Amino acid sequence: MQMKKTKTKKGKATAKRPKEAVKSTPSPPPPTDDSESDDGSSSSGSDTSSVEDVEHQEPPASSGQATLKKMKRAVEENEDDELGSSNERKKQKKEFFAADSFTSLPLSDNTQSALATMGFTQMTKIQSLSIPALLSGKDLIGAAKTGSGKTLAFLLPVVELLHNAKFGSRNGTGAIVISPTRELAMQIYGVCKDLCTNGKHHQTYGLIMGGANRRTEAERLAKGVNIIIATPGRLLDHLQNTKGFVFRNLLAFVMDEADVRIVLFGVKYSWCYDDSHRLTTATIVPPKRILEQGFEDDLRAIIKILPKQRQTMLFSATQTKKIEDLARTAIDKSAVYVEVPSDTSLATAEGLEQGYVTVPSDQRFLLLFTFLKKNKNKKIMVFFSSCNSVKFHAELLNYIDIPCMDIHGRQKQQKRTTTFFQFCKQSKGTLLCTDVAARGLDIPAVDWIIQFDPPDDPKEYIHRVGRTARGDEGTGRALLFLTPEETGFLRYLKAAKVTLNEYEFPMKKLANVQSQLQRLIEKNYYLNCAARDAYRSYLLAYASHSLRDIFNVHELDLSAVGRAFGFTAPPRVDLAFSMKGPKARRHNGQVTKGKGKTGKLANGHAFSASNPYGKKSAKDKRQFSH
């Protein structure tokens, strides 16, 4: 099996295998945070349990085993084929490190010793631009590509600030670092731990996040934690309710991956183009998802509670010029803006080979299945648009003997933590995930980033592919799945300085397992339920996409989409879409276009609260109707 990269229709070649970037795994968080059940926390994921692998369902009948064997046999017929790409794109070598070394900075002996022990000698460009300004006490907004050393760029000044102030446990909390996800918070905690331990700094540090034991966290906060790495929801809970939590002496406030929660400032940008396909001034629209709205409220409340006299730092991977005007509620007006200049005008890493493949909706899973089967010896991350989709595909792939791990927002924190560190340590394997794993995480030596479901916007694409080709010599590959109707998304990526090569995938090389897949989903009750939930979540995520001119849920062929989830016909699900437009609104869970009207898909399927799955034909065979 071959995948061809085509700059022209006739171009063919074979790409070299990318080198694996060797990186250290972050130190795990203290185990005491998950030792007991969560007490009194408002976090939905507060209780913990033992880690369990994805359960393999026993086939209900002997036909299940036959189906499984046929699916394996269809792939084994093509074992001699290789899935790859053609010529590796020509790259201009860009200096990753700056000319300055850490020894040129006015740092304490403790910090210099820690840097030497950790093997850091030369500063990266974002570090050389931001650390001197931060050491002088200025507020700062920093922007640089993923994997450029932003974590150390803000942690080093924070540790040095508290060291010079002789900050101790009796002084309470002197610095707070907010992370958008728990996994990124754990990674930042690991770097902070190494920096303080190797430098013999006496400052204390701790990890505060949803899913961990709240009572244990509260006890530690009451004793005094100088440096806190936290997620917004749990931090706000402690700020409001934990007695003995002293934060009036706060000296520094850091928000990492600032653009992930741009709704901190109450707005979000949509991408707009003129008739010449040029990116115009962004339009401000309200936050569209409940999770983001919750983060907005939490962050606003946190900023309001924290002392106003503090040093504030905002860091992100994507361009943040637009954030500068919005940041006035959280940062001083005299803040310094630093950005690593791009010599090649590319928004992604130099060592990243990127491409897309156009595949019909009903063949998306077949392509993913074939790809993973052929690349079992590679380290792969696959991104989905919803938790239910991750759960279903993980259960299905493990059931049909393609081992994979999964991370998503509905898992208990202990399982998420264990899975994250397990995947970091592995040299090969597959991780299915939502965008919870796309923000700032440094996962060593990822070979492939597969975007099974397209990202919400170009910024999200940049963060997803940033999990590979990290560092100065990091290399990796990224593949984006698009249906023929979704190729307009490439214009938005191009405007965001992301250029993708087109790959031609020979569809005749796909593992022909569609009929076996449909029989498996039909006969296995648990997989059927998971597939139905994933199908519904896929449609809801599609309907809430920010680029509705490209990702139009009403243009979807529901029959084709259903086949990708193993259904012979679209299952009966509640499609309570949010169809935002001049005449569209959502009323009590029912989609309406004006009063009393139901929405219609292009294929003629009408849907409403009483008929959520659309028109039924004589050949329609739906399962689990209620």
CA 480 – CA 9 distance, rounded (Å): 19
In the chain, the percentage of residues whose pLDDT exceeds 90 is: 40
The answer to whether the Cα torsion of 27, 33, 37, 40 is positive or negative is negative
Phi, psi of 227 (to 5 degrees): -120, 120
State pLDDT tens for residues 409-420.
888 878 888 888
- Our CA angle for 436, 194, 137, nearest 5°, is 85
Is 514's pLDDT higher than 50?
yes
Name the residue among 15, 47, 11, 58 with its Cα closest to residue 478.
Answer: 15
* pLDDT at site 484: 93
Contact (Cβ atoms closer than 8 angstroms) between residue 68 and residue 520: yes
**DSSP conformation class of 265:** G
* pLDDT at site 585: 37
**CATH 3.40.50.300: which residues of the chain?**
62-89+346-509, 119-339
Domain 62-89+346-509 grouped into CATH 3.40.50.720: no
State pLDDT tens for residues 517-545.
999 999 999 999 999 999 999 999 998 88
The number of beta carbons lying within 10 Å of the beta carbon of residue 17 is 12
Higher pLDDT, 441 or 97: 97
Which residue in the block uniquely carries the two structure tokens 């924290």?
Answer: 306
What does the DSSP assignment read for 66-134? HHHHHHHHHHHTTTT-----SSPPP------EEEEEGGGS---HHHHHHHHHHT--EEEHHHHHHHHHH
* pLDDT at site 110: 95
Local confidence band at 56 (pLDDT 50, 70, 90 cut-offs): very low
Which residue in the block uniquely carries the two structure tokens 């994507």?
Answer: 318
State pLDDT tens for residues 279-305.
333 332 333 333 454 566 788 789 899
Q: Which CATH superfamily is domain 119-339 in?
A: P-loop containing nucleotide triphosphate hydrolases (3.40.50.300)
CA 221 – CA 409 distance, rounded (Å): 26
* pLDDT at site 476: 80
State pLDDT tens for residues 155-212.
999 999 999 999 999 999 999 999 888 888 988 999 999 999 999 999 999 999 988 8
Local confidence band at 386 (pLDDT 50, 70, 90 cut-offs): very high
Is 64's pLDDT higher than 60?
no
CA distances for 420 relative to 192, 402, 453, angstroms: 18, 19, 21
Local confidence band at 619 (pLDDT 50, 70, 90 cut-offs): low
CA 622 – CA 189 distance, rounded (Å): 49
Name the residue among 250, 267, 280 with its Cα closest to residue 176.
Answer: 250
Is 67's pLDDT higher than 60?
no
Mean pLDDT value of segment 47-61: 35
What is this structure's pTM? 0.56
